[in-house]
Amino acid sequence: MKPSVLLIYTGGTIGMVEDTRTRSLKPFDFSQITDHIPELQSFNISLSSVSFEEPIDSSNMNPVIWVRLARLIEKNYKRFDGFVILHGSDTMAFTASALSFMLENLSKPVVLTGSQLPMGIIRTDGKENLITAIEIASRKVKGKAVVPEVCIYFEYQLYRGNRTHKFNAEQFQAFRSANYPVLAEAGVSIKFTRNAAHKVSGSGRKLKVHTRLNTAISVLKLYPGITENAVAAILNTKGIRALVLETFGSGNASTDKWFLDLLEKAISKGILIYNVTQCNAGRVVQGKYDTSAKLKKLGVVSGVDITFEAAVAKLMFVLGQGGSGKDMRRMLERPLRGEMS
């Protein structure tokens, strides 16, 4: 039987074509996708598509839509061998990270892709991104998916979704995965990186979809000269339960007494503080320098080499699962879906 792939169009640049009458860009009907990309007809793949009624700009992406995507995959999981989600690039890494946590025991590819130029533009990068994403989503070896995880395909590179961040708004190569190798590179052929993709453990484990996400988090990015009032305002935000603390280098922060006192007070109130480096590559090593040893002593949780996008999604996921503060700390400290080393 031919492998089957479901295309899910949420919105974004890739789904736009030029209206010949008004010369403006508009979303095209993905049920007629082969009219726009006739090359797909040569694939020995059964393609189906579903589109959001109103395409969403990725700047408006939110956890409600993540839940909608997760349920859509759950509903169609037995019918298709793989899924391709067409998504705006700006928040694609957030969505990929969130779905990786929400789709437990995933054994099929969920590939997010998009483009920097609309499909209706002659120089678009969307056509190649979409064609290769579909091929990856349908690829099997001995009846098993080659990449059974949530990933991002963009400009000849396949990345683990929760290891990826957007680093360039102008170049076709918009994404990077600094702390984890690419899962595959597309050239004349698609070369998959040996042992990089997730391995499905055990047999017969059912897909478990988590839809409880808690957005009661905030972000504090440190900078030289940050004031006590600024830090206090964020830590005293009403209802906050967790904080992504973006620190310098390998997890370093100010040792000023007022700063440490504010963190200690927040932790004593049950607020989880997740230490994530501002650097695009490297990791947090709490205790390597005195400027991070004090954070460790206070009870700040190390995010090791997690990306900012994955840290945000993971906190929402962990808070959504509930449990004691100790249980949530334990979940933050260890990799759940390959998001950290």
Contact 339, 306 (CB under 8 A): yes
In CATH terms, are 4-209 and 217-333 the same topology? yes
Torsion, CA 19, CA 24, CA 25, CA 29, rounded to 10: -30
Can you give the pLDDT at residue 54?
Answer: 86
Q: What is the pLDDT of residue 32?
A: 63
pLDDT for 203 equals 57
According to the model, what pLDDT value does residue 126 have? 81
Per-residue pLDDT of the chain (341 residues; tens, 9 = 90+): 899 999 999 988 787 777 767 777 666 666 666 677 778 777 889 999 999 888 888 899 999 999 999 999 999 999 999 999 999 999 999 999 999 999 999 999 999 999 888 776 778 888 899 999 999 999 999 999 999 999 999 999 999 999 999 999 888 888 999 999 999 999 999 999 989 998 876 556 899 999 999 999 999 999 999 999 999 999 999 999 999 999 999 999 999 999 999 999 999 999 999 999 999 999 999 988 888 999 999 999 999 999 999 999 999 999 999 989 999 999 999 999 999 99
Structure tokens at 146: 């080659």
Q: What integer pLDDT is reported at residue 166 of this predicted model?
A: 94
pLDDT of the residue at 135: 95
Helix, strand, coil % in the chain, rounded to nearest 5: 35, 20, 45
User: What is the C-alpha to C-alpha distance for residues 93 and 190, in angstroms, rounded to an integer?
Assistant: 22
**Class of 217-333 per CATH?**
alpha beta
Strands 175-176 and 165-166, sheet pairing: antiparallel
Domain extents in the chain: 4-209, 217-333
Strand 190-192, strand 184-186: pairing: antiparallel
Q: What's the pTM?
A: 0.94
Task: Compute the distance between CA of residue 97 and CA of residue 310 in angstroms, rounded to an integer.
Answer: 5
Three-class secondary structure of residue 149 per DSSP:
coil
Instruction: List the catalytic residue out of 13, 91, 113, 124.
Output: 13
* End-to-end Cα separation, the chain, in angstroms: 38
Which pLDDT belongs to residue 81?
97
Q: Residue for token digits 């453990």?
A: 201
Three-state DSSP at 260 gives helix
Backbone angles phi, psi at 174, to 5 degrees: -90, -20
291 is catalytic: no
Tell me yes or no: is domain 4-209 CATH 2.40.110.10. Answer: no
